[in-house]
Chain A
Amino acid sequence: MTVATLGDREIHVDEEGFLTDPTEWDEALAAVLASNIGLELSPAHWRAIEFARADHTATGETPTLRRMATEGGISTKEMFALFPKKPAKKMSYVAGLPKPVGCV
């Protein structure tokens, strides 16, 4: 774990730059994280981010793409449009959540 300086403050991140403490996240930070990966956040992005954060609070886990679709009502096609190429990874990064486990 390392400490990174983003904008004007310090946050804790893992080796890939994902926040390790979701409570350090806020909306201003999301915009900075998004611009790091070339995204500008639209209302549709915010809908995805807000569902993911609420779901993470409820279940303790970052939602998978399937869960975003079935529980969050955001189709996988839309997720690919919002967060191109690697939607699950990019959304978690911007939302300040760990990468979805998915797979072991």
Chain B
Amino acid sequence: MKRLVILGAGTAGTTIANMLTRRLPADWEIEMVDPSWTHLYQPGLLFVPFGLAEPSSLVKPIESHLPRGVTLTRGQVDRVEPDAKRIVLEDGSIIGYDQLVIATGTSPRPDMTPGLTEFGWRDTVHEFYTLAGATALRDALARFEGGRLVVHIAEMPIKCPVAPLEFSFLADDHFKKRNMRELVDIVYVTPLSGAFTKPIAAAKLGGMLESRGIALEPDFMIESVEEGALVSYDERRIPYDLLVTVPVNMGAAFVGRSGLGDELDHVRVDQHTFLAVGQDAVFAIGDAAALPTSKAGSTAHFSVEVFVENFVEHISGRPMSHSFDGHANCFVESGDGKALLIDFNYDTEPLPGVYPVPGFGPLRLMRETRLNHWAKLAFETVYWRALLRGRPLPVPNAMSMAGKVQPSREEIKV
């Protein structure tokens, strides 16, 4: 038997297992390695702080979404030895492979910023990218009686790069509904030069911050956190009463130990095939890969569809004929029961228009609508029932220009 080992049973790893089970020749087996017992629906974390999602509803047993015949080993990877084609786990056990997929994602690392966990961590200093963090933040928001709320991004890239914006919009809405918006100053602090990366989306989202009275502090590279304040390398000091930070995101530590990573332990890969640089039997998919597109579940989904076709060709000795275009899309919750949708790839920035059917939609790109919000909520069911199981979704895989409109910069201002 030949063995494919998949490290990580998150969105990318689980979907790959489900799709490849149906596609691999009979002499291939699949083994997965993950230290966890549960699969977390990460898009739901955003709603937890506002009491809009119950933490326990976001997790399900890993096994319940894996296909029959796949072996799941619980363990932490110590290192991969690509030359020996084997994986060493922290308990010393060894797993050999013929092909390897690294799908161990990226994780918030508050320990990378001096002082961040030293003053009131999970009390006045929060993150919402873990279940424990989002739940602690829910309790802190319930206690909050007003003051300065600082929403902060430590460093790019982060997974779900729109999430801190969404958090800010939802916080604005949350305080309005509690009749205490005027008691709260919201400040959005980012290392980027604007609200977002690409110019048209940055203008649109920046306008949405402004219209909600949320102050923007751009080009802020954090050096350390003091009690009650963020300090940047250029010696700006931003005081807070409640800090919601997105810590530095890093890939799994074994990636670096195995010599496969960049300076943030994300795996260096070919951006069109996901083959690790200099390797013939190691791929990295989803957030674990160093790709110049968003780290997001949608990117993982679109990547997997390309990867599966290529992988079948690769193991039969044929050249990989499919190429990933960097396609990502994100629903951006904007508060008051609305959301906007952005759709983009390596070469095309987010543009207005309709999605997924040109001329019809029904979803509107770059515009706040109730339907986008309902689509975002409905996606949770789609995720568990169809996406993870590798069933076809009713959206095209490659990004399409049909349905999109290239506006002038002035038109995009809200």
Contacts and interface: CB of A to CB of B under 8 A. Distances in A.
Question: Do the two chains belong together in a single complex?
Answer: yes
Interface of A: 64-67, 70-71, 76-77, 79-80, 84-86, 89, 101-104
Given A67-B262, A86-B193, A104 B293 contact: yes
Contacts of B161: 103-104
B293 A77 contact: no
Given A76-B221, A86-B219, A103-B156, A64 B292 contact: no
A86 B194 CA distance: 13
Contact of A76 (B157, B223, B292, B328): B223
Given A103-B156, A104-B292, A104-B294, A77 B223 contact: yes
B223 A104 contact: no
Interface in B213-263: 219, 221, 223, 233-234, 262-263
B263 A102 contact: no
19 contacts: A64-B263, A66-B155, A67-B263, A71-B263, A76-B221, A76-B223, A76-B233, A77-B223, A77-B233, A79-B233, A80-B221, A80-B233, A84-B234, A85-B234, A89-B193, A102-B197, A103-B156, A103-B197, A104-B328
Contacts of A84: 234
Contacts of B192: 103
Contacts of B234: 80, 84-85
B371 interface: no
A104 B350 CA distance: 11
* CB-CB nearest 9 A-B residue pairs: A103-B156, A80-B233, A103-B197, A102-B156, A70-B263, A101-B292, A67-B263, A104-B294, A104-B293
A66 B263 contact: yes
A104 B330 CA distance: 12
Task: Label chain B's interface by main secondary structure.
Answer: loop
Interface string B148-168: 000000011100010000000
Interface string B274-300: 000000000000000000111000000
Given A77-B223, A77-B233, A104-B292, 17 more contacts: A65-B221, A66-B263, A66-B264, A71-B263, A76-B221, A76-B223, A80-B221, A80-B234, A85-B219, A89-B193, A102-B156, A103-B156, A103-B192, A103-B197, A104-B161, A104-B197, A104-B293
A101 B262 CA distance: 14
Contacts of A86: 193, 219
A76 to B, nearest CB: 5
A97 to B, nearest CB: 15
Nearest to B248: A66
A104 B233 contact: no
A65 B192 CA distance: 13
Contacts of A79: 233
Nearest to B153: A103
Nearest to A103: B156
A6 to B, nearest CB: 24
Nearest to B198: A104
A71 B221 CA distance: 19
Most buried by B among A67, A71, A84, A103: A103
Contacts of B219: 85-86
A37 B197 CA distance: 23
